[in-house]
Chains A and B, each alone.
Chain A
Amino acid sequence: MVITGIFAAAVIALAIHIYVVTHPHFGGRSRGMARIDLHQPINQTDAERITAWLYRHEGVDHVLVSTKSAITVFTYSPLVADAGRIASAFRDSLSYPRAVRYLPSEVEIKRSCPLRATPVTNGLYEFLKRIF
């Protein structure tokens, strides 16, 4: 009985170790992505101004502004930043009156690349694969 209990405890400790080492954690690194279409030509100065403005928001961690397509993309921590508010403030604070946050329709979402992982299933699969 004692031996079984100790062995079970060792197996559980081992399982926790493997899980912690291998499981993809999203709590800290989870990021949302938002896109703002400017619908007007922009130059490098605009791009730098927009980039600086977006980085001022807490939770925004990466920004890319394309002068070629006049599209701005940024990633943010969904636990800290609200992309909708940032997009609204963007149009109000900067002189890009035609700027619109691009939100895909249900049809566009369905048509999107299906190579999306389901982290829980994926994590469990990897976890079991490592044990057995």
Chain B
Amino acid sequence: MMKKTKSRATQAILGGAVLLLAVTLSCHKSGRPAGNQTFYDSLGGAVLVPDPANFGQSVEKGYLTIRTIVDSALFLIQVDPVINGYFSIMVAEDTAHTTPTEYDKLSLGITNFLAVAAGSKDYSYTGPTLLDAHNPSTNPNVPGPIDSGAFNEFAFDLGRAAAQSGLSNQLISQLGDLLYRYEGQVVQP
């Protein structure tokens, strides 16, 4: 009886170890096969790399590229009087010194949105749709319709940030294409 239990326990340990190994290895993705490449793949894809902002952590290269661009863009947006009013929350006072800050949340929200839009399968965006977020009837806090000038300025700042991050002209152009797919959801009549 004792022997049987020991044997089952050994099998369970081995089974658990195999399961653990299988899923651990599955975390190291090698990306999609060539020919079916998404924009996310072009930005580095699902290959895990050390996260420079989080010691000991990994991050997908595609996600890291997008996050770097978004973080640079948030600076450019905040010094840009044409659109900084739409993003004022990220410089709000934080007397409680709580983390994550509003800046963290905005960076994460925009990064996740763009990562998913670019083709990431491993990250998710759980915020409102762009249509709902920019529609005064579904988001009463929207002061009014966003005009195309403001959208163009946002795209311009993101493009400048992408250039500063070292993205090639071709990839910046693809980023522009991606952004303008959503123009109709942001700029509403």
A residues engaging B (CB < 8 A)? 2-3, 6-7, 9-11, 13-14, 17-18, 20-22, 24-35, 62, 64-66, 68-69, 71-73, 75, 78-79, 83-84, 102-104, 108-119, 121-122, 125-126, 129-130
Select which of A35, A73, A119, A130 is within 8 A of B100 by beta carbon. A119
Roughly how many angstroms separate A117 CA and B70 CA in the complex, as a whole number?
Answer: 14
26 contacts between A and B (CB under 8 A): A10-B15, A10-B17, A13-B20, A14-B23, A21-B27, A22-B122, A25-B54, A30-B99, A30-B101, A32-B94, A33-B90, A35-B78, A64-B79, A65-B79, A71-B81, A83-B94, A108-B88, A109-B88, A111-B85, A111-B141, A114-B128, A117-B125, A118-B105, A119-B108, A122-B126, A126-B122
Residues of B within 8 A of A33 (CB): 74, 78, 90-91, 101, 103
Q: Which of B34-42, B109-117, B165-173 forms part of the interface with chain A? A: B109-117
Chain A binding surface, main DSSP class: mixed
Roughly how many angstroms separate A121 CA and B125 CA in the complex, as a whole number?
Answer: 11
Residues of A within 8 A of B12 (CB): 2-3, 6-7, 10
A104-B88 contact, Cβ under 8 Å, with A33-B74, A78-B101, A115-B110 = yes
Chain B binding surface, main DSSP class: helix
Select which of B9, B48, B97 is within 8 A of A79 by beta carbon. B97
B19 contacts the other chain (CB 8 A): yes
Report the count of interface residues on B (CB-CB < 8 A). 66
Residue in A closest to B74 when the chains form the complex, CB atoms: A33
Whether the pair B93, A103 counts as a contact (CB closer than 8 A) is yes
A115-B16 contact, Cβ under 8 Å, with A30-B101, A33-B103, A109-B89 = no
Whether the pair B101, A10 counts as a contact (CB closer than 8 A) is no
Residues of A within 8 A of B113 (CB): 115
